[in-house]
Amino acid sequence: MASEQVLLNLQNPLFQVYLTTASLMLLKLMLQPWMTVARMLKVSAGFRSPEDIKKSPINPNPVASQLEVNEYVERSRRMNLNDLESIPAFLVAGFLFVLVEPPLLLAQCLLWGYVLARLAHFFAYLTAQIHDVRATFWTLSSVSVLVMAGYTLWQAVAAG
């Protein structure tokens, strides 16, 4: 096993591909709530806390119905919850996977495969494609993380 001095280094292509894909997914994870915010402001609805219908500069004319579930806003919240079920696990699994030094090509396929599958999942969810389309992309992203975690476990146990 190479030293970490070599491993966690931007000159190491394995670490570089992880860092690139991980940063992209971090941005995706952090930007989804902004879509929720934008949708709440656009329809002035879909709020969740009782105090959100208090008069304020952003909400000058509050009405009680603003606390009702709003599908347009709720879709973005479901997309965010789906991110939460997947992206943090990807970020950690990818990092541990890189630490056990898999073949570069395998890492590139799994890490970029995950990014592409989540991108496709995002558009399928956003545009309300039928469940089977969304499920297919979700499956690809899930399998990518499962393979990385399984590979890491195998390496860890083999070294034990």
Alpha-carbon Rg for the chain in angstroms:
20
Q: Tell me how far apart the alpha carbons of residues 67 and 35 are, in angstroms, rounded to a whole number.
A: 18
Residues 6+ apart with CB under 8 A from 54: 62
76 forms part of the interface with its own copies (CB under 8 A): no
Rounded CA-CA distance 137/144 in Å is 11
| List 35, 44, 67, 75, residue binding its own copies (CB under 8 A) | 75
Residue 115 contacts its own copies per CB under 8 A: no
Instruction: Please identify which residue in 67, 80, 113, 119 interacts with its own copies, judged by CB under 8 A.
Output: 80
Q: In 4-160, where does DSSP find H-type helix?
A: 4-7, 13-43, 71-99, 104-126, 131-159
Contact positions with its own copies (CB under 8 A) in 24-53: 24, 26-27, 29-31, 33-34, 37, 47-52
Tell me which stretch binds its own copies (CB under 8 A): 80-88, 103-111, 113-121.
80-88
Residues 95-114 touching its own copies, rule: CB under 8 A, are 95-96, 99-100
